[in-house]
Amino acid sequence: MTGATGSADGVERLDLAHLGAMLRERRGSLSLRQAAAEAGVSFSTFTRVEAGAQPDLTSFTLLSAWLGVSPGGFFRPVAERQVAPIEEAIAHLTADPRLEPEAASKIAGVLRNMYDVLAKAPAQRQVVACHLRAASVLRPGVPERLNSLLGQMHDQLEARLASGEL
């Protein structure tokens, strides 16, 4: 099963931490083996998913049914739509009741023109990429930490290159 799916609002990701917490709560005093048998999945699958690993589609469906929760309830938005600062400023202008729509439009036009002339493009950072075959079975948070470490390593290598050390 993949960890992301399309939606009207953007990308959604399976909230593995929430799934694991609900499994622990529902399991209560049952042993892992008892809970796995009740849910219809293997002991090892139940243990891994409870610890935050991503299940396969069949196991996810069975575990959701055992929890009595729709599978869709475990998906969360990954990122909200980002509004450009200039668009946010213009939205405030058009919402100002003291300005006539024509006046707000003229001010918005001037602001857009000034912004286009004065705004600098964001600094382009070279992408650091690493293919991880086991990324889907890593514990939650590990890919993000690896990304941070790779970025730091990249920055340090660039600094050493710039200083002539390498």
Residue ranges and CATH numbers for the domains of the chain are 4-77 (1.10.260.40), 85-118 (no CATH), 125-166 (no CATH)
Is residue 53 within 8 A of residue 134, CB to CB? The reply is: no
More confident residue, 114 or 7: 114
Spell out the residues 6+ positions from residue 27 whose beta carbon is closer than 8 angstroms to its own.
35, 50
pLDDT at 5: 44
Could you tell me which of 90, 92, 97 has the C-alpha nearest to residue 112?
Answer: 90
Q: pTM of the full predicted structure?
A: 0.45
pLDDT at 1: 43
Q: Is it the case that residue 156 has pLDDT exceeding 90?
A: no
Q: What is the mean pLDDT of residues 138-166?
A: 81
| pLDDT at residue number 116 | 85
Please indicate whether residue 158 or residue 62 has the higher confidence score (pLDDT).
62
Quick: pLDDT tens for 107-134: 989 988 888 888 877 666 555 565 666 6
* Residues β-bridged to residue 4: 13
